[in-house]
Structure 1
Amino acid sequence: MADRLHPVVVIGLGRFGTALATGLIEQGGEVLAVDSSPAVVQRLSGQLGQVVTADATDVDALRELGVQDFDRAVVAIGTHQHASILVTSLLDELGVESIWAKALDRQHARILRRVGAHHVVLPEEEMGSRVAHLVSGEVSDYLRVSDDWVLATARPPQDLVGVPLGESGLRRRHRVTVVSVKPAGSAEFTYTDATTVLGYGDEILLAGRTADVDRYVRSL
């Protein structure tokens, strides 16, 4: 049996926060959703279940909600940078072990990290980067998994086709790795190893540092 998901506090119920809270609930998680707008809370009460109106910039209000008993929290506040920074610092003060925060830009992200955020996401920037790669036609999908590590799917170049991956020198020459392949005609990816031989119609999943993967896919 899978471990039960950790309960999560989601503060800020704009489009990002609402989608996040809904996704956690759909996965079977327990969510305490918080927003300062009574109208927003009323609108979402049937959708999110445990959703309350509170001023999350007030540490006493957070204590009354029992936020200090949660080990995971997400600060999903939209356009109010000062509020998101203050709430993040209060969550850190309350001892929340894992704090995720939405940032509007890189400067905002740096401040959030300084005041206690353990993970910072920039949804607009990350989506823009992903769409740019898709629109360019270089890759069929692109996912940033950390500040400097990405996964990308693409068709194999000619120099990889018909050669066992272990003999291709791909990692040595380009510092990227083919970690999975979806053979032509198949609906599923499968693991690769040194003996895997790729075909022209295959789709490969590449992993590596952002600059290395970007450089490699541009050469395809």
Structure 2
Amino acid sequence: MAKNGQTLVIGLGRFGRGVAETLGKLGHEVLGVDASARIVQACSTGMTHVVQADATDVEALRQLGAADFPTAVVAIGSDVQASILTTYTLVDLKIPRIWAKAITAEHGAILERVGAHRVIFPERDMGVRMAHSLVGRTIDYLEIDENFVLVETTAPREAAGKTLQDAGLRKRYRVTVVAIKRPGGRFTYATPDTVINAGDVLVIAGEPKSAELFADLD
């Protein structure tokens, strides 16, 4: 079944199942694999292709046609050894793009060492987002990389009634307002002539310290 744009997802816990089902909703073909018969049975109603197999066994993956997939996601959670062995097996099969979930920094370092092209830390990243959302006026926080973030926050009082150009937020706080949403409205792109009102929600972009400082304004 593997063609360009199709994805192999190994490990169908909450994270892996979420990845697989979302890709399916986006119109992608997904093959889900898990070692647990119970989990495979539970996923069979929400996924078109799901099989029970030991993903650490290279011959089992070959029989599933894993080598023909352009992308694989290793979503195995608490079993670190299985996660590493599965990633190594996928590398051995020369899959062009391998994403792997890690639960600790050490786990992530090993996954990178064995050949994962990208390592993700969903629990850590969600913890960072939640912590920032508990501080100041931050509603949501997304780290693009270590030097750049997107922050959803409410408009500070000092900017109310002013256009973005007059408020001078980029010059004063080194952040760029990307989008704005009126109460009860939808997000729209921000322009220099956009007027900021009390209660507006802004999406800002910038370096972490600058964005955090802006989100902490009264």
Written as runs of structure 1 = structure 2, the 5 A alignment for 1:37-186 is 37-184=36-183, 186=184
User: Residue in 1 aligned with 2:12?
Assistant: 13
User: Residue in 2 aligned with 1:190?
Assistant: 188
Distance change (3 Å), C-alpha of 1:166 and 1:107: farther
2:190 partner amino acid: T
Distance change (3 Å), C-alpha of 1:21 and 1:210: same
Residues in 2 aligned to 1:200 and 1:38: alpha-carbon distance in whole angstroms? 54
Shift of residue 137, structure 1, vs aligned partner: 4.7
* Greater mean deviation of Cα atoms: 45-54 or 7-16: 45-54
Distance change (3 Å), C-alpha of 1:147 and 1:10: farther
Shift of residue 56, structure 1, vs aligned partner: 1.0
* Kept after mapping to 1: 8 A contact 2:136/2:216: no
1:193 partner amino acid: T
Helix, strand or coil at the partner of 1:190:
strand
Shift of residue 5, structure 1, vs aligned partner: 8.4
Shift of residue 75, structure 1, vs aligned partner: 0.4
Shift of residue 90, structure 1, vs aligned partner: 2.2
User: Residue in 2 aligned with 1:211?
Assistant: 209
1:96-126 deviation per Cα after TM superposition (whole angstroms, max 9, x unaligned): 2221111102222222223222222212111
Structure 2 stretches of 5 or more lacking a match?
A: none
* Greater mean deviation of Cα atoms: 189-198 or 42-51: 42-51
Residues in 1 aligned to 2:93 and 2:4: alpha-carbon distance in whole angstroms? 21
Helix, strand or coil at the partner of 1:129:
helix
Distance change (3 Å), C-alpha of 1:99 and 1:209: farther
Q: Which structure carries more strand by proportion?
A: 2
- Give the TM-score taking structure 2 as reference length: 0.88
Shift of residue 190, structure 1, vs aligned partner: 0.7
Helix, strand or coil at the partner of 1:17:
helix
- Of the candidates 183, 197, 200, which is equivalent to residue 198 of structure 2? 200
Residues in 2 aligned to 1:147 and 1:85: alpha-carbon distance in whole angstroms? 25
Residues in 1 aligned to 2:48 and 2:9: alpha-carbon distance in whole angstroms? 13
1:209 partner amino acid: E
Shift of residue 178, structure 1, vs aligned partner: 0.5
Distance change (3 Å), C-alpha of 1:211 and 1:86: farther
Residues in 1 aligned to 2:92 and 2:206: alpha-carbon distance in whole angstroms? 36
Residues in 2 aligned to 1:76 and 1:18: alpha-carbon distance in whole angstroms? 9
* Kept after mapping to 2: 8 A contact 1:5/1:29: no
Does residue 33 in structure 1 map to residue 16 in structure 2?
Answer: no
2:188 partner amino acid: T
* Kept after mapping to 1: 8 A contact 2:164/2:191: yes
Helix, strand or coil at the partner of 2:98:
strand
Residues in 2 aligned to 1:32 and 1:150: alpha-carbon distance in whole angstroms? 33
* Greater mean deviation of Cα atoms: 9-18 or 88-97: 88-97
1:55 partner amino acid: D
User: Residue in 2 aligned with 1:22?
Assistant: 21
* Kept after mapping to 1: 8 A contact 2:148/2:206: yes
